[in-house]
Structure 1
Amino acid sequence: MESGSKQRRRQHHFVLVHGACHGAWCWYKVGTLLSSAGHRVTALDMAACGASPGRAEEVPSFEEYSRPLLAAVAGLPPDEKAVLVGHSFGGLNLALAMERYPDRVAVAVFVAAAMPAAGKPMAFVLEQVWQQEHPADRYMDCKFETGGDPQHPVETFRLVPQYLKQRLYQLSPPEDLTLAVAMVRPSQRFQDDATMKGDVLTAERYGAVRRVCVVAEDDATVPAAFQRRMASWNPGTEVMGLQGADHMAMLSKPRELSELLMEIADKYII
């Protein structure tokens, strides 16, 4: 017990990345628990998400959408490596940061997240994820709109209350669903983006970063079995299950997820 207690007192830097249409706000429980345990926490808003200014259709590329994370990792002190934690669509942001800065990442944690495979473009895993969703009413009544430059229209989508309630937050406290309904913003899917379709993640960089897949066992959006399948595309990935977690594991099981994150950091950071 004493040894474990000493390990837990080690301080780590957790960088938290949200999923589509969400923002840094969705980490408020986990961020508080990690900070209270003595760790440094950076919860980021991707471009045009959360409290970030601008509109989704104004974000020109997936790289620009990911810029807040890329800048945060590039700006780490020379002797520091961060624990990157990505949720849902945020797994793709993690993958890009891992490919660009593999030496700055101690371990990457994918929480109910898209986990691309080395040797393939990121668009591949995104297409696979979409195929897992209910085909008959895949997006229910989520709002899809086209805007921006008429010469180069951009499609955005917004998650509506019923979809949030049934697919993402079905096990989360009702007040967190209320928060989400008030806070979610439109987002792009970037399915035709050059970085998504053209850039192949390499085994030498992306594939060399240690990673953990945290499976939300009661996810109604991305089935637990498919979360494990994505992990199997990446040899050496450690898989941990989180029982009773819906897609928003940081809200339905915040304490359990925080404990897992600290356990992972203690294990992978020497």
Structure 2
Amino acid sequence: MAGEHLVLVHGEGHGGWCWFKLRWLLEGSGYQVTCIDLAGGGVDPTDPNTVRSFEQYDKPLLRLISALPEGEKVILIGHGSGGLSVIHAMHEFVDRIKQAIFVAAAMLPFGLQTDEDKKDGLPSLPENETELTFGAGADDPPTTVALRLEFQRDRLSQQSPEEIL
């Protein structure tokens, strides 16, 4: 499999940066690796409060796959809610995805299509652990959910050294 193009898709609250150690190992083994920043994640300049749909959120991933040279296929690897982005890409680009790997990721066969899918596929955390932003107005659903700093280690990075947090 060395030489394959792997596209690593981050989960909630992360960006492409979260794959940095794995990326080095994979590239050292001969893989081509792309660590994508979904809209509003990592260094992507999109204001997360302007993202209103998964279509917008996944745009950087969909753009990357649509720009692949003719005949090239990628292996998508999604973590957490990044699994939903992987599923979205699989439905959009059946002929450009060689394989999909889900690492502790949401795996809904058709993505987020119903209210039940949203309930099953999106992470839920106790209200006291999160901060909500209502970028579309107080009467609309929240546009971002941020995990409070004091809960980040316990919820997201239990085994990470302090300097990585």
TM class by shorter-chain length?
A: 0.7 to 0.9
Q: Percent identity?
A: 38
Task: Between 106-115 and 118-127, report the one with greater CA deviation.
Answer: 118-127
Equivalent in 28, 53, 58 of residue 61 of structure 1: 53
Q: Which amino acid aligns with 2:148?
A: V
1:168 aligns with 2:156: yes
Match of 1:244 in 2: none
Structure 1 unpaired stretches of 5+: 1-7, 178-270
In the TM superposition, structure 1's runs of 4+ consecutive aligned residues that sit over 3 Å from their partners are: 122-126, 148-154
1:152 deviates by 5.8
Q: How many angstroms apart in 2 are the aligned matches of 1:115 and 1:109?
A: 10
Per-residue CA deviation, residues 196-241 of structure 1 (Å, 9 max, x unaligned), is xxxxxxxxxxxxxxxxxxxxxxxxxxxxxxxxxxxxxxxxxxxxxx
Please state if 1:101 is matched with 2:93.
yes
1:22 aligns with 2:14: yes
Residue of structure 1 aligned with 2:30, choices 34, 38, 48: 38
1:49 and 1:119 mapped to 2: Cα distance? 20
How far apart in 1 are the matches of 2:114 and 2:106? 9
Alignment length (residue pairs): 165
C-alpha separation between the residues in 2 aligned to 1:110 and 1:44?
15
Q: CA–CA distance in 2 between the matches of 1:25 and 1:48?
A: 13
Q: Compute the displacement of 1:122 (Å).
A: 6.3
Question: Which structure ranks higher in relative contact order (CA pairs < 8 Å, sequence separation ≥ 6)?
Answer: 1
> Normalised by the size of structure 2, how large is the TM-score?
0.87
> What TM-score comes out, normalization by structure 1 length?
0.55
Mapping of residues 1-270 of structure 1, within 5 Å: 10-118=2-110, 121=113, 124-129=116-121, 138-148=126-136, 154-177=142-165
Output the amino acid matched with 2:27: S
- TM-superposed CA distance for 1:96, in Å, is 0.6
Task: State the distance in 2 between where 1:120 and 1:156 align.
Answer: 17
Q: Deviations over 1:44-63 (max 9, x none)?
A: 11111110113111123210
CA RMSD of aligned residues (A): 2.4
User: Take 1:30 and 1:51, find their aligned partners in 2: how far apart are those partners?
Assistant: 19
Q: Gaps spanning 5+ residues in structure 2: where?
A: none
CA contact (8 A) 2:81 2:121 kept: no
CA contact (8 A) 2:108 2:121 kept: no
More helix by share: 1
Determine if contact 2:5/2:74 at 8 Å carries over to the other structure.
yes
> What secondary structure does 1:22 align onto?
coil
